[in-house]
């Protein structure tokens, strides 16, 4: 149950990014394995978001397990700022972003 809750929180943050950038026709894939879980979120947008490289850098911040207990308190439920995605990066192990023919795709992995 704990890993499912973490996946839900990560998906929520990624979904906020998609909504903030007017990405439409959103599809979400989630796969739990023995190694951890994979999330893939895909949507359509005419042009790649201007901050995509910076987002990828923030998401690939080295994971910090000590932050997980403070996750909700630190992020809050109001509007999202750049540092929120840095906090998200502290919760995951790998992130990959691609943009091809109006398809924006984010893949993240979190080890058990």
Domain boundaries, the chain: 2-111
Higher pLDDT, 67 or 88: 88
pTM: 0.83
In this predicted model, what pLDDT tens digit does every residue of 31-87 receive, in sequence order? Answer: 999 999 999 999 999 999 999 999 999 899 888 777 666 655 554 444 455 556 777
Contacts 24+ apart (CB under 8 A), 73-76: 75/13
Higher pLDDT, 25 or 78: 25
The pair phi, psi for residue 61, each rounded to 5°, is -60, 135
The structure tokens listed for 106 are 């984010």
What is the DSSP-derived secondary structure letter of residue 70? G
């Amino acid at each position: 149950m704990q890993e499912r809750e973490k996946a839900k929180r990560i998906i929520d943050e990624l979904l906020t990014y998609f909504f903030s950038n007017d990405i439409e026709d959103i599809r979400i894939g989630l796969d739990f394995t023995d190694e951890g879980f994979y999330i893939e979120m895909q949507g359509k947008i005419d042009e790649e978001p201007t901050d995509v490289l910076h987002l990828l850098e923030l998401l690939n911040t080295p994971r910090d397990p000590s932050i997980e207990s403070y996750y909700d308190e630190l992020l809050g439920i109001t509007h999202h700022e750049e540092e929120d995605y840095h906090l998200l990066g502290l919760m995951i192990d790998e992130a990959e972003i691609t943009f091809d023919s109006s398809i924006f795709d984010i893949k993240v992995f979190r080890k058990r």
